Structure 1
Amino acid sequence: MNTFVIELLVVGLAAFGMAWMPAVTKKTGISYSIIYVAAGFLLYKAFDIFPTPDPLRKENYAVHLTELMVIISLMGTGLKIDRAFSFRQWKSPFLLVSITMLLCIAATSFLAYHFLHFDIPTSVLLGAVLAPTDPVLASDVQVGPPHETERNEVRFALTAEAGMNDGTAFPFTWLSIVVFGMVYKGEGSLFDWLWMDFFYRIVAGVGCGFLVGRAIAWLVFYLPKKKAFIEVRDGFVALSVTLIVYGLTELVHGYGFIAVFVAAITLRNYELHDKYHTRLHSFTDQIERAMLGIILLLFGGSLATGILEALTWPLALFGIGFLFVVRPVLGLVSLLPLKLSFKEKSAISFFGIRGIGSFFYLAFALSKADFRFGDELWSTVSFVVLVSILVHGTTAAFGMKAVESEYEENGKTDDLS
Structure 2
Amino acid sequence: MGKEDLNTVLTILGAMVLLIGLSSRWLEKSPVPATVIALLIGILLGPEVLDVIDLTEYGEKSTILEVSARLTLGIGLMGVALRIPKKFPRQNWRQLLVLITGGMLLMWAISTALIYLVLGLPFWLSALIGAILAPTDPIAASPIVTGPVAKKNLPDRLRHTISFESGANDGLSYLFVLLPLLMLTMVRDKALSHWLTTTLLWEVVAATLFGLLLGYVAGKLLQAAEKRNLIQEEWRLVYTVALSLVAVGGGKLIKSDELLIVFAAAAAFVQVVDEGDRGEEEKGQEAVNRFFSYPIFTLLGVAIPWAGWAALGWSGIVLVLLILLLRRPPVLLLLKPFLPALQSKKDALFLGWFGPVAVAAIYYGSMAEHRLQEPLVWDVVSLVIFASVLAHGLSATPLSRLYGKETGYRKKEKKQKRSD
TM-score normalised by structure 1 residue count: 0.88
Structure 1 segments unaligned to the other structure (5+ residues): none
2:13 paired residue number = 11
1:366 aligns with 2:355: no
AA of the residue aligned to 1:395: S
State, as a whole percentage, how many aligned pairs show the same letter: 24
- Map 1:39-118 to 2 at 5 A: 39-44=41-46, 45-52=48-55, 57-118=60-121
| CA displacement at 1:27 relative to structure 2 | 2.6
1:249 to 251, 259, 268: 251
SS at match of 1:274: helix
Residues of 2 paired with 1:362 and 1:3: CA distance? Answer: 26
- Map 1:322-401 to 2 at 5 A: 322-339=323-340, 340-370=343-373, 374-401=374-401
1:320 paired residue number = 321
| CA displacement at 1:63 relative to structure 2 | 1.2
AA of the residue aligned to 1:28: S
- Paired residues of 1:178 and 1:189 also in contact (CA < 8 A): yes
Cα shift readout 1:246-279 (whole Å, capped 9, x = no counterpart): 333333333211111111121112134233x222
SS at match of 1:336: helix
Pair 1:192–1:304, CA change in 2 (3 A): closer
SS at match of 1:188: helix
| CA displacement at 1:46 relative to structure 2 | 4.7
AA of the residue aligned to 2:181: I
AA of the residue aligned to 1:392: H
Residues of 1 paired with 2:386 and 2:220: CA distance? Answer: 42
2:185 to 181, 184, 190: 181
Pair 1:186–1:155, CA change in 2 (3 A): closer
Cα shift readout 1:297-317 (whole Å, capped 9, x = no counterpart): 222223386463433211221
Pair 1:385–1:53, CA change in 2 (3 A): farther
1:190 to 189, 192, 195: 192
Residues of 1 paired with 2:5 and 2:105: CA distance? Answer: 45
Please say which of residues 80-89 and 115-124 is displaced more in the overlay: 80-89
Residues of 1 paired with 2:7 and 2:293: CA distance? Answer: 20
Pair 1:53–1:316, CA change in 2 (3 A): farther
TM-score normalised by structure 2 residue count: 0.87
2:156 paired residue number = 152
Residues of 2 paired with 1:315 and 1:131: CA distance? Answer: 17
What is the root-mean-square deviation in Å for CA atoms of aligned residues?
Answer: 2.8
AA of the residue aligned to 2:326: V
Residues of 2 paired with 1:76 and 1:141: CA distance? Answer: 14
Please say which of residues 96-105 and 80-89 is displaced more in the overlay: 80-89
More helix as a share of residues = 2
Residues of 1 paired with 2:97 and 2:325: CA distance? Answer: 22
1:166 paired residue number = 170
Cα shift readout 1:291-344 (whole Å, capped 9, x = no counterpart): 222222222223386463433211221121011122111122122223411111
1:288 paired residue number = 289
